[in-house]
């Protein structure tokens, strides 16, 4: 009995296995002998009908391999449906399309007629060096587009990016990220609403509020692009770039992190927090690494302080900043048509240099400074701001000070070199060295008694209430006092006298154009720096 029983068992097993093979063979034969099926079952350990699923359902178990057009599918098990092109695959599902694309998931629902697959659970879509991770992915095999709508992650050789919604256009090497987009690599981090990322070039197009932080700066824009491989960026809508020391705003910003180069156009504004400076204009080029910047077209420098009255507004054709030899300090150059305004001091020159290190301002080529009723001019002027001592004004070559006392009445000081000392924003005294000449209205108890003209190689002059209060001649003077009624107009002026008050900026707006104004003696206006 035993041998006969074993024979029957062996025969039954053979029939089952042979039957499965016969069914597979028949399917393949029918497919070739009649109309070829678009979905081919290439392999399965077992095949059986399962009417519990559907009347036309076939269950494939073990080492399942299915082919459709240029797509191959592997799975632990699957259902196919006679008369349809559907496949439901389960367990370690793997789809391969072409030479470079592979899709992995826990299960896949595939519609051969629509060339569409829905992958669920531990989804990985791999294309060359790019991998998409998601919990659920819809994949259009006809157009080679993957869709996720409930969080996905892209990893390639350069970046990691995540979003709530994503569209992977494989043929275009383009991934579209929507909602809560985040990206990073060792050089940057990104947060955005919408990003289109080209995997071949590493370029990201931003189409909504976006913040990018790299090794040097934080970038913000609502339109433009950023190259994650090179650090280049072109920011087109509401852009600004900032770090802990500076902030740049403009209508357009082009930026290269690797070389530190940048260019900004339209409503340019640079805010240097450390040196309390704001520079504005229409065009700017700069280098973040060597800290050089140049601004042109309506260029304006604002040096602000704790009090509004001490804020300085300066305009020139070109403003340029370069680093000083001391870290954190700057050298600011302004040239061609310099005009500046502060409530206590105003001036013009062809060019100017400012050193933040020691608060020194140098004015070149026909410089003129006004303070209260005083006009100071020379071939070269240097202003030094002191912390615990009077500020200094150095006038070199052809120095000339004019102080308007009344209509047609001017106190005048002329010399080769002068040093003026300023206390509480008022001219306190002047030291004249070389070829000193004075012409001032002498007074007794505020009454003018005549015009005093004197010459001396060295003169010390003390001011009080804007008027010459006391003069000390350090070398033997030559001079005379003349009554007013005997004076000619020529005698009321030292040679070289030139009262340029019509060029004087009286407001911060006047730094752009000389005002057409009557003569004034004192400026009291205050402004708020914005």
For the segment 496-510, what is each residue's pLDDT rounded down to a tens digit? 999 999 999 999 999
Print the domain residue range for 68. 15-148
Residue 320 within a domain: no
CA 387 to chain centre: 34
Domain-located, residue 104: yes
342, part of any domain: no
* Mean pLDDT, rounded, for 249-276: 90
Nearest 5°: the CA angle 276, 282, 286 is 60
Residue 101 lies in a domain: yes
Instruction: Please check whether residue 360 lies inside any domain of the structure.
Output: no
Q: How far is CA 71 from the centre of its chain?
A: 47
Question: How confident is the model over 126-144, as a mean pLDDT?
Answer: 95
pLDDT level of residue 7 (50, 70, 90 thresholds): very low
HSE of 53 in the Cβ direction (CA atoms, 13 Å)?
A: 15
Q: What is the pLDDT of residue 34?
A: 39
What average pLDDT does the segment 362-390 reach? 91
Instruction: Of 59-68, 96-105, 509-518, give the lowest mean pLDDT range.
Output: 509-518
Has residue 234 got a pLDDT over 60?
yes
Q: Within 13 A of 388's CA, how many CA atoms are on the CB side?
A: 0
Are 392 and 376 spatial neighbours (Cβ–Cβ below 8 Å)? no
Q: Give a yes or no: residue 61 inside a domain.
A: yes
CATH code at 77? 2.60.450.10
**Residue 503's CB: how many other CB atoms inside 10 A?**
15
Asked if pLDDT for residue 30 goes beyond 60, the answer is no
3-state class of 527 per DSSP?
coil
For residue 218, pLDDT over 50 is answered with: yes
Residue linked to tokens 């053979």: 14
Query: What is the reported pLDDT for 477?
Result: 84
Q: Do 264 and 283 contact (CB within 8 A), yes or no? A: yes
Supply the pLDDT for residue 17.
Answer: 39
Q: Count up the domains in the chain and report the number.
A: 1
Range from 7-21, 341-355, 400-414 carrying the lowest mean pLDDT: 7-21
Which 8-state DSSP code applies to residue 114?
A: T
- Residue 76 placed within a domain: yes
d(CA 6, CA 516): 121
- Which tens digits make up the pLDDT trace of 396-437? 999 999 999 888 899 999 999 999 998 888 889 999 999 999
Cα-only R_g, the chain: 42
**Long-range CB contacts for residues 207-210, cutoff 8 Å, separation at least 24:** none
pLDDT band at 67; cut points 50, 70, 90: very high
Which H/E stretch holds residue 23? helix 2-33
Write out the E strands in 116-249.
Answer: 116-127, 130-140, 145-148, 152-155, 160-163, 165-169, 174-185, 188-198, 203-206, 210-213, 218-221, 224-227, 232-235, 240-242, 246-249
Note whether residue 332 is domain-resident. Answer: no
Range in 14-28, 76-90, 153-167 with the lowest mean pLDDT: 14-28
């Amino acid at each position: 009995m035993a041998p006969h029983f074993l024979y029957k068992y062996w025969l039954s097993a053979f029939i089952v296995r042979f039957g499965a093979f016969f069914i597979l063979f028949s399917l393949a034969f029918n497919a070739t002998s009649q109309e070829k099926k678009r979905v081919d079952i290439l392999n399965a350990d077992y095949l059986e009908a399962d009417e519990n699923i559907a009347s036309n359902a076939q269950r494939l178990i073990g080492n399942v391999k299915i082919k459709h057009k240029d797509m191959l599918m592997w799975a632990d098990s699957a259902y196919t449906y006679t008369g349809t092109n559907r496949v439901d695959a389960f367990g370690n599902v793997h789809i391969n399309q072409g030479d470079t694309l592979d899709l992995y998931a826990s299960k896949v629902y595939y519609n051969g007629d629509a060339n569409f697959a829905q992958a669920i659970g531990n989804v990985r879509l791999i294309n060359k060096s790019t991998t998409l991770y998601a919990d659920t992915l819809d994949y259009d095999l006809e157009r080679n587009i993957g869709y996720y709508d409930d969080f996905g992650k892209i990893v390639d050789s350069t970046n990691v990016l995540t979003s709530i919604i994503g569209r992977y256009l494989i043929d275009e090497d383009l991934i579209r990220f929507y909602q809560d987009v985040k990206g990073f690599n060792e050089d940057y981090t990104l947060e955005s609403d919408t990003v289109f990322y080209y995997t071949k070039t590493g370029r990201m197009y931003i189409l909504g509020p976006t913040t990018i932080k790299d090794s040097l700066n934080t970038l913000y824009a609502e339109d433009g692009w950023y190259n994650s491989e090179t650090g280049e960026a072109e920011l087109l809508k509401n852009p600004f770039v900032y770090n802990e020391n500076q902030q740049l705003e403009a209508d357009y910003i082009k930026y290269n992190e690797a070389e530190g180069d940048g260019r900004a156009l339209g409503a340019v504004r640079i805010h240097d927090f450390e040196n309390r400076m704001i520079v504005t204009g229409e065009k700017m080029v700069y280098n973040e690494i060597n800290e050089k910047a140049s601004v042109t077209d309506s260029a304006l420098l604002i040096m602000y302080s704790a009090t509004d009255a001490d804020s300085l507004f300066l305009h020139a054709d070109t403003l340029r900043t370069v680093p000083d030899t001391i870290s954190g300090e700057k050298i600011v150059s302004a040239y061609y048509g310099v005009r500046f305004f502060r409530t206590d001091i105003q001036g013009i020159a062809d060019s100017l240099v400012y050193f933040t290190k020691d608060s020194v301002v140098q004015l070149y080529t026909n410089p003129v400074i006004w303070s209260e009723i005083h006009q100071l001019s020379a071939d070269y002027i240097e202003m030094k701001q002191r912390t615990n001592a009077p500020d200094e004004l150095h006038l070199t070559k052809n120095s000339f000070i004019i102080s308007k006392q009344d209509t047609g009445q001017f106190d005048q000081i002329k010399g080769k070199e002068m040093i003026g000392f300023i206390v509480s924003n008022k001219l306190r005294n002047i030291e004249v060295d070389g070829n000193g000449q004075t012409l001032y209205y002498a007074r007794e108890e505020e009454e003018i008694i005549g015009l005093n003209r004197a010459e001396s190689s060295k003169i010390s002059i003390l001011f009080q209430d804007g008027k010459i209060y006391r003069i000390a001649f350090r070398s033997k003077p030559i001079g005379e006092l003349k009554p007013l009624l005997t004076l000619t107009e020529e005698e009321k002026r030292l040679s070289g006298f030139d009262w340029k008050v019509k060029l004087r900026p009286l407001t911060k707006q006047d730094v752009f154009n000389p005002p057409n104004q009557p003569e004034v003696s004192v400026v009291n206006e205050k402004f708020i720096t914005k």
